[in-house]
Structure 1
Amino acid sequence: MERKHFLKSLLLGTASVPVLLSACGKESETVTPATGTDGATGCCSVAPTETEGPFPTKAPASYVRSDIRDGKAGHVMTAKITIINANNICAALAGALVDIWHCDAEGNYSEYGGGGMQSTNYQAVHFLRGRQTTDANGQVTFTSIFPGWYSGRATHIHVHVYSASGVSLKVTQIAFPEGTGSAVAAVNGYGKGLSGYTTNARDNVFSDGVGLELATVTGNTTDGFQLAITFGVAA
């Protein structure tokens, strides 16, 4: 899998004014020369491409909604994702379609199961999957629950970004901070703890680095969590 040795990460939070990196790197996957509509040039880090499987949403356009919980129990989490355009000096990308999906508190996905990788059969339900369109600030917001974990993977959220016309721009994943004081530690795997948990450093997707995929996560188990991340795409 082609990945990154990037120069700098973008930490935009919820700001509507994009951050411009001062120098370009050599790897086109993650650092793209950019020219703005005003002729200014600069560089933006592009999110790394990750696997979409093995549990992608089967009909994403059917789940246009911001609250994706569908009654699933767990600590409430608000996820704010900002999409910027690496081909336009990090400008906010309005009108992009953003799909997300992740497992429940027990580590299970909707739309799958009944054998193989997931014994619990959730083929007939669609929890923790949704689509939103970015606003003028390039942002979408989802209400979900804090993801659980399953064997072989660190806590994560899948993200697929499309143009307004439906052209795929990026498939990637969101990683979570770990260790003492982190939300992952506070949630403690819900009922099953963290014994056997796969850390980001040992995860087969994140082990080569999470600099461009690591979210900022704040909050607590009483009041809920807030997740924020910015992804650059070449649109």
Structure 2
Amino acid sequence: MERKNFLRSLIVGAATAPMLLDACQKDSTTPSSTSTSTSTSTSTSTSSSSSSSSNSCTVAPTETEGPFPTKTPASYVRSDITDGRTGYKLTIKITIDSSSSCTALSGALVDIWHCDAEGNYSEYGGSSMQTTNYTSVHFLRGRQTTDSNGLVTFTSIFPGWYSGRATHIHVHVYNASGTSLKVTQIAFPEGTGTALALVNGYAKGLTGYTYNSSDNVFSDDTSGLEIAAVTGNLTDGFVLTKVINV
């Protein structure tokens, strides 16, 4: 059974939470052809260095697209993907580089999607994998085309988390003709003073949170290749930057 069909079968017929974790596991195969802030009055800022600012041309790891990929990504060409979801503002700046030439890849299509502050995805729900039914809405999903510097920018909110996974953003990159180049995920820095610590899981807190070292996608990323750089604060919002080599 093809992977996408397998993931689709999980959405329809999943009966247990462990199946969600299995669906989120690392995929080692190459893919085929203005927010409303709930900020308190804090001015603490965070910063972290990571491989996102590296000049390395190492190809980004290939990760799973599911279990909640955007169903019709070409329908959501937009830079502001908040769609009314509340949370701390997050500006997402992703640069796509060609690993073969170490140069910016212009004209590439970049799809991103992530969960909301409560850990829920749009376009899915009403099942044991996600009880809240958001099948008719499309928040926190979008597509942009890279500029001459290989850059796309999205306005979103800081993602929440759900059981078994660290906070993350999904990314699917295509060339200008629509051929898939890379499916991967972006991880967030952890520790005292980071954006993750400041946001503190929103209302859920971080009790029971799965950190990158235990996450079934990021745990083998010992070099921090998938970790973004995140700066900012609760009052002004945060900025995430990441270079992805394809």
Letter in 2 for 1:209: D
Letter in 2 for 1:70: D
Q: Which residue is equivalent to 1:46?
A: 59
Are 2:165 and 1:165 equivalent residues in the alignment?
Answer: no
Are 2:211 and 1:199 equivalent residues in the alignment?
Answer: yes
Q: 2:84 aligns with which of 58, 61, 71?
A: 71
Q: Which residue is equivalent to 1:152?
A: 164
Per-residue displacement from partner, 1:184-213 (whole Å, max 9, x unpaired)?
Answer: 110010001000000000000001016211
Per-residue displacement from partner, 1:113-152 (whole Å, max 9, x unpaired)?
Answer: 0112100000000000000000000000000000000000
Of stretches 201-210 and 155-164 in structure 1, the one that deviates more from structure 2 is 201-210
- Of structures 1 and 2, the one with the larger relative CO (CA 8 A, separation 6+) is 2
Q: 1:189 aligns with which of 188, 191, 201?
A: 201
Runs of 4+ that moved beyond 6 A: none
**Gapped regions of structure 1 (runs ≥ 5):** 4-8, 14-18, 22-43
Per-residue displacement from partner, 1:72-120 (whole Å, max 9, x unpaired)?
Answer: 00000000000000122x1000000000000000000000001121000
Q: Which residue is equivalent to 1:12?
A: 53
Q: Which residue is equivalent to 1:28?
A: none
Letter in 2 for 1:50: E
Q: CA RMSD in A?
A: 1.4
Are 2:220 and 1:208 equivalent residues in the alignment?
Answer: yes
Are 2:93 and 1:80 equivalent residues in the alignment?
Answer: yes
Report the Cα distance in structure 1 between the residues aligned to 2:197 and 2:69, rounded to whole angstroms.
27
Letter in 2 for 1:12: S
Aligned-pair CA distance for 1:183: 0.6
- Map 1:85-100 → 2, pairs under 5 A: 85-88=98-101, 90-100=102-112
Q: Which residue is equivalent to 2:131?
A: 119
CA contact (8 A) 2:52 2:229 kept: no
Q: Which residue is equivalent to 1:31?
A: none
CA contact (8 A) 1:100 1:160 kept: yes
CA contact (8 A) 1:76 1:225 kept: yes
Q: Which residue is equivalent to 1:179?
A: 191
Aligned-pair CA distance for 1:12: 3.2
Report the Cα distance in structure 1 between the residues aligned to 2:225 and 2:217, rounded to whole angstroms.
13
Report the Cα distance in structure 1 between the residues aligned to 2:137 and 2:227, rounded to whole angstroms.
29
Q: Secondary structure of the residue that 2:124 maps to in structure 1? A: coil
Letter in 2 for 1:184: L
CA contact (8 A) 1:10 1:45 kept: no
**Gapped regions of structure 2 (runs ≥ 5):** 1-26, 30-49
CA contact (8 A) 2:88 2:237 kept: yes
* % identical equivalent positions: 73
Report the Cα distance in structure 1 between the residues aligned to 2:243 and 2:83, rounded to whole angstroms.
26
Report the Cα distance in structure 1 between the residues aligned to 2:167 and 2:51, rounded to whole angstroms.
21
Aligned pairs, number? 199
Aligned-pair CA distance for 1:10: 4.9
CA contact (8 A) 1:68 1:142 kept: yes
Letter in 2 for 1:99: D
Letter in 1 for 2:149: N
Letter in 2 for 1:164: A
Report the Cα distance in structure 1 between the residues aligned to 2:71 and 2:123, rounded to whole angstroms.
8
Query: If the length of structure 1 is used for normalisation, what is the TM-score?
Result: 0.82
Query: If the length of structure 2 is used for normalisation, what is the TM-score?
Result: 0.78
